[in-house]
Amino acid sequence: MTMSPSILEPAAVETPVAVVDLDIARANARRVTTYAARHGLGWRPHVKTHKSRTLARIQLEEGARGLTVATLHEAEVMATVCDDLLLAYPQVGEGKVRRLGALLERGVDLKLALDSPEALESAARAGQAAGRDVGVLVEMDVGMGRVGVGTPEAVLELASRCAEEPGTTFRGILFYPGHIRVPAAAQGPILKEVGGRVGEAIQALEGAGLSPEIVSGGSTPTLWQSHEIPGMTEIRPGTVIFNDRDMLALEVCGPEEVAFHVLATVVSVAVPGHAVVDAGSKALAKEELRGDLRGYGLLPDHPEVRVISLSEEHGVLDISGSDWRPRVGERVRIVPNHVCVCVNLQDRLLVRRGDGYGVIPLEGRGRSPGSIEQPN
């Protein structure tokens, strides 16, 4: 990426545009690897937050042990920058088997999280076809109630099947504590409960001679408390690379650690008490936050202003509680509630590094090219 010309400076670009500060993103990555190293953990960041090879390279340069992906398309893109990938999503269906096999043939050390015999069979077929095993992490539910088997016995059963199935190698277990959305001070008892469940699963596996080499967990809201869950070998926080309004509210980060905002322009002040910007739900994403937090984003330069409603291309700001009287044409920065879905709405990102600006593509965005053109 060439960083340069002034035509890319935020004052000159057309809005709405998503802007990333690469220096802050790199510092965020460094903070995670420093913390992880201190506690004997590896960091395998989830790339669903940025979907970009540029950001993945920064994470790897700062010491990430590998990458986590959610889709086969992300896996195929990230395989060009890293050969140690965890696909943390069960792969079901013939087309997926073929593409898993192709990743293995490229030499990727591929780990797959799964929670069913069906997904295990898909993995086995891919491994057999490629002549190289898929590493399997049995996914366990630790309270979110989304995916994952619920008991140590069920973990052991899948792990045992996996150890017998040609084409797969049992590598360990995976969990995602996505139900923990409270500030650090209130996480203690929930982390203890999660740690208990993980500990029981590890014990059951060890008792059967299937000691897990990898115990993969972690999230951004629990990031700085990861060491309170015994037995983990690696963590997968993704949001931390940019942070967002949600992470600010949970006190996971400070304002200086937010690397992402959407730059918008005030397009109307005709309605008293309101200002309308050109970033609506198609630029910011209409994600609600938990609890008392209302609105669809934070204006770091005018925190008293609320983003009260979003149409597709209009963002309505309530300025009635502010002294700020914006003019039509004025620019505002908006930090989205949930940065991952906001990034996914962008075609590319405007990035700042030092004094320079550049543009980066989001190569991992989108579904699977080829899956419709070449049906199974």
Ligand X SMILES: Cc1ncc(COP(=O)(O)O)c(C=O)c1O
Stretch 224-283 residues interacting with ligand X (CB under 6 A):
236-239
Give the residue with the Cβ less far from ligand X, 90 or 101: 90
Q: Is the dihedral of CA 310, 293, 180, 25 positive or negative?
A: positive
Rounded CA separation 217/209 (Å): 22
332 near 303, Cβ under 8 Å?
Answer: no
Question: Helix (H) and strand (E) counts for the chain?
Answer: 10, 17
Give the residue with the Cβ less far from ligand X, 3 or 341: 341
Site string for ligand X, 58-97 (x = CB under 6 A): ----------x-------------------x---------
- Partnered with residue 356 across adjacent β-strands are 353
Q: What is the DSSP letter of 134?
A: E
Quick check: 122 binds ligand X (CB under 6 A)? no
Q: For the CB of residue 11, give the shortest distance to ligand X in the complex, in Å.
A: 32
Q: For the CB of residue 248, give the shortest distance to ligand X in the complex, in Å.
A: 14
Q: For the CB of residue 289, give the shortest distance to ligand X in the complex, in Å.
A: 14
Q: Is the dihedral of CA 204, 205, 211, 217 positive or negative?
A: negative
Size of the residue set binding ligand X (CB under 6 A): 11
Give the residue with the Cβ less far from ligand X, 217 or 280: 217
Part of the chain binding ligand X (CB under 6 A), chosen from 120-128, 204-212, 213-221, 366-374: 213-221
Which of 190, 298, 182 lies closest to 250 in space, CA to CA? 182
Rounded CA separation 51/82 (Å): 14
Q: Is the dihedral of CA 291, 322, 13, 29 positive or negative?
A: negative
Quick check: 148 binds ligand X (CB under 6 A)? no
Among 43, 176, 260, 296, binds ligand X (CB under 6 A): 176
Q: For the CB of residue 236, give the shortest distance to ligand X in the complex, in Å.
A: 4
Stretch 12-51 residues interacting with ligand X (CB under 6 A):
46
Q: For the CB of residue 267, give the shortest distance to ligand X in the complex, in Å.
A: 32
Q: Is the dihedral of CA 276, 280, 285, 289 positive or negative?
A: positive
Q: Is the dihedral of CA 279, 280, 283, 285 positive or negative?
A: positive
Q: For the CB of residue 77, give the shortest distance to ligand X in the complex, in Å.
A: 18
Rounded CA separation 260/77 (Å): 22
Quick check: 219 binds ligand X (CB under 6 A)? yes
Residues that bind ligand X (CB under 6 A): 46, 68, 88, 176, 219-221, 236-239
